Amino acid sequence: MAEVKASSSIGFLDRFFKISERGSDVQTEILGGVTTFVTMAYIIVVNPAILSFAGIPVGASTVATILTAVFGCFLMGIYANRPIAVAPYMGENAFIAFGMAALGIGWQLRLGAVFIGGLMFLAMSLVGLRSWLANSISTSMKASFAVGIGLFLTLVGMYETGLVTSFVTGMPSGTMSVDAAGLLKAPDAPLKIGNLHDPQVLLAIFGFLLMTTLLSRRVHGAILIGIVVTALLGYACGQGYIPEKWGVLSLTALAQDYDLSPIFLKLDIAGVLKLSFMPILLTLFLMGFLDTLGTLVGVGSAGKMLDENGNFPEIEKPMTVDACSCIFSALLGSSTSGAYIESAAGIKEGARTGLAALVIALLFALSLFFLPIIEPLQHLRYAYCPALMAVGVLMLSSVRNVDLDDLTETVPAFMTIAMMLFTYNIANGLTAGLVLYPSLKILTGRAKELHPGAIVLGIMCLIYFVFGIPH
């Protein structure tokens, strides 16, 4: 009888999520969901730590971060049926914490800006404007989004593991310098190779090699296996620490230690609706819009989910989820949320449906009751960051779709990738490329090749550079 019920449940899941239709199975979807969760669970600790600089209490912010991820992933699974995780963005939280600091405004106003931005996203999604803009972007540009995000993930993984580190605290003083003998020497660089004698760096290298070896051999669950094996090896080498508390938090303990009330519904909406606040709204709006667009195209390319024109099918659904999640996030007291690039890790494991997103939502929900145990795991960067590097390698294949024989396609694509990496900001790369693309087409007398949406995007991005707050 139990076997019959299990078979019936699997059949229901298969029909509801169209799992077989998309070339997957329940086991693969669960594996993909677990893999994505493991690669992005660091936000449980990192997001509240960053927002604390804006004055938002860490305990309450932790709960808001988790609940936002639960809401976004659940909605992505049920409504959009895509294997894409949704949670508070790491770039936008830094802008809210640090980028707005010079403006002297409280966190309540900052959350109000997030809320208004979410409403703008939702309105554009419901009328189809966001999907119209998304589908106006050329194949070469969309391919550059995937390549840039893949390399961005790789840089994040290399930096977080210590394989690459900062050479200087600021920018180099000069590119041309001489040594004591008066000979030209190599200039200082913002980044350099890390300490290859550091056990955690060596563990990260081991993890990356293990993952790519398993991927080359087409081992199912290669990335997750690599994370687990590297973590266990790290613990065996003394590169981790045991949680101070074990066990499951009760609802009473959770309510006492992680009270949400100090930030719940404390956003200031009226204060945002001023002309002087427009640069902030413009910045948050474009960052959120382009981050989501770039992520959807990037992970769609990684999972071969794009159509023959390089468009993400039914993109308005995940964009609507993104908008609703952003509104929900602001109400709870967290930063702008949206689709996560780490979803590519689970997609590369074979996840193709919303069941994977539901698994991610469930794991985030369960994490609420295991916070004292989870916190030490977030320090195992040497275990989960190599997964970002491996995914970056896999996403590099999209470069084949950049038209390298046409400079009006190549230059914007190249600058998109370069600006993403060298400014350490995905939105900067997207905006630069989207300004350059219509500009070059017009300057070379090929304006007829432009979709009207590409011109609109170019103007919006140009306004961002002129009147927004690029960072």
Looking at the DSSP bridge assignments, the partners of residue 192 are 165
Q: What does the alpha-carbon distance between residue 362 and residue 360 come to, in Å, rounded to a whole number?
A: 5
Structure tokens at 466: 């002129």
pLDDT at 257 over 70: no
Q: Look at residue 173 and tell me if it is in a domain.
A: no
Contact assessment for residue 97 and residue 54, using Cβ atoms and an 8 Å cutoff: yes
- Beta strand 337-339 with 86-88 is antiparallel
Q: How many domains does the chain have?
A: 1
Residue 279 has pLDDT above 70, yes or no: no
The verdict on residue 12 lying in a domain is no
Q: Are strands 164-166 and 86-88 parallel, antiparallel or unpaired?
A: unpaired
Q: Is the pLDDT of residue 175 over 60?
A: no
Instruction: Measure the CA–CA gap between 389 and 158, rounded to whole angstroms.
Output: 7
Amino acid at 177: S
Tell me which H or E stretch contains 96.
none
Of 168-182, 208-222, 225-239, 406-420, give the range with the top mean pLDDT. Answer: 406-420
Q: Which residues contact 349 (CB under 8 A, 6 or more apart)?
A: 28, 31, 32, 35, 220, 221, 222, 223, 224
Tens digits of per-residue pLDDT, 292-327? 777 777 777 766 777 776 677 778 888 888 889 988
DSSP string, 316-331: HHHHHHHHHHHHHHHH
In a domain, residue 425? The reply is: yes
SS3 3: helix
Answer whether residue 3 is part of any domain: no
Distance CA 341, CA 303 (A): 12
Mean per-residue pLDDT over the chain, rounded: 79
% pLDDT > 70, the chain? 78
Instruction: Give a yes or no: residue 112 inside a domain.
Output: yes
Overall average pLDDT of the 376-401 stretch: 78
- Is 467 a residue whose pLDDT tops 60? yes
What is the pTM for the complete model shown? 0.68
pLDDT at 59: 77
pLDDT value of position 261 = 81
Indicate the SS3 state at residue 177.
strand
User: What is the mean pLDDT of the segment spanning 377-404?
Assistant: 79
The confidence band for 170, taking pLDDT boundaries of 50, 70 and 90, is very low
Q: What is the pLDDT of residue 171?
A: 42
What are the C-alpha distances in Å from 76 to residues 68, 278, 322, 361, 391?
12, 30, 8, 9, 22
Residue-wise DSSP of 230-248: HHHHHHHTT-S---S--SP
What is the structure's pLDDT at 377? 65
- SS3 call for 192: strand
Reference 337, options 83, 93, 6; nearest CA is 93
pLDDT, tens only, 410-433: 999 999 999 888 887 776 787 888
**Whole-number Å distance between alpha carbons of 333 and 57:** 10
Residue 253, pLDDT score = 63
Which whole number is the average pLDDT over 124-132? 79
- Give me the domain span that covers residue 77: 23-167+189-467
pLDDT reading at 7 higher than 80: no
179 in a structural domain? no
Task: For residue range 329-351, list pLDDT tens digits in order.
Answer: 889 888 778 888 778 888 888 88
* Among 228, 238, 334, 338, CA closest to 291: 338
pLDDT digits over 49-65, tens only?
667 767 778 778 888 89
As beta bridge partners, residue 164 has 193
Asked if 464 and 433 touch (Cβ cutoff 8 Å), the reply is no
Closest CA to 391 of 89, 36, 100, 135: 36
Residue 267 pLDDT class (50, 70, 90 cuts)? confident
CA angle, 184 then 419 then 404, to 5°: 95
What percentage of the chain exceeds 90 in pLDDT? Answer: 14
Residue 62 is assigned to a structural domain of this protein? yes
Domain membership of residue 174 (yes or no) is: no
Residue 177 has pLDDT above 70, yes or no: no
pLDDT of 98 above 70: no
